[in-house]
A = this chain, B = another copy of it.
Amino acid sequence: MTDLEKKSGAVEVPLEFWFDLSSNYSYLSLMRVEDLARGRGIDIQWRPFLLGPVFASLGWNNSPFVVQKAKGAYVKRDMERQCAKYSLPWSWPSEFPRRTLLPMRVAVYGQDQPWLADFCKRIMLLNFAEDQEIDSPEVVGDVLCSMGLPASDIIDASQNEAFKQALRIQTQQAQEKGIFGAPMFVVHRELFWGNDRLEDAINYCAEVKSQ
């Protein structure tokens, strides 16, 4: 932060939470981040981005958990253990990674809306707990409807070129920030990678706020 910001005492230090709805480790954080942040008075900035182009830039045509067989086998077991630890429901998706373009566009459309967290949790649970396809207007519409939201309006708006482009731009911004995987937490230009660093990111955020 600048000296001016420091002196003004008006610094807000949010936790930027960068995630992809098809990312299993993002699931762990997305289900936990609100409780952790709320307890410390930390604001979350939700930043959905596409892992696909990030992986492509590394020469991978798919998730490393698909490309690297041994790591993929490990991650399946690791997720079972992690979800047991956090008391989260879990089932390895029969299609992995799932196509998530539509719910990702809805997430970008609503990233500053109060319903965003709940929407993402519901989509994540369909993917990672109920093993359901999540990229159709029907499924996304049902989720939005069940939240009492104008489903058709939101889906139509999120399919506008402006929001397609917004998701592409946000993905480019992720890469410009040095983001190479998900989840990633960014606090005041400091990067924290993976669900295993969520608590460290929260602690750092609280520390910077208190300075």
Contacts and interface: CB of A to CB of B under 8 A. Distances in A.
Interface of A: 58, 68, 70-71, 73-74, 77-78, 81, 85, 175, 178-181, 190-191, 193-194, 196-197, 200
A178 B70 contact: yes
Contact of A74 (B70, B74, B85, B180): B180
Given A58-B68, A68-B58, A77 B191 contact: yes
Query: Which of A68, A74, A200 has the largest count of B CB atoms less than 10 A from its CB?
Result: A74
Contacts of A70: 175, 178-180
A62 to B, nearest CB: 14
A200 B85 CA distance: 10
Nearest to A184: B74
Integer count of this chain's copies in the complex: 2
A196 B200 CA distance: 12
8 contacts: A71-B181, A74-B180, A74-B193, A77-B190, A77-B191, A78-B193, A85-B200, A194-B196
Q: Decide if the interface of chain A is mainly helix, strand, loop or mixed.
A: helix
A191 to B, nearest CB: 6
A200 B193 CA distance: 19
Contacts of A179: 70
Contacts of A81: 200
A47 to B, nearest CB: 16
Contacts of A74: 178, 180, 191, 193
A197 B77 CA distance: 13
B58 A180 contact: no
Contacts of A181: 71
Contacts of A71: 180-181
A179 B180 CA distance: 22
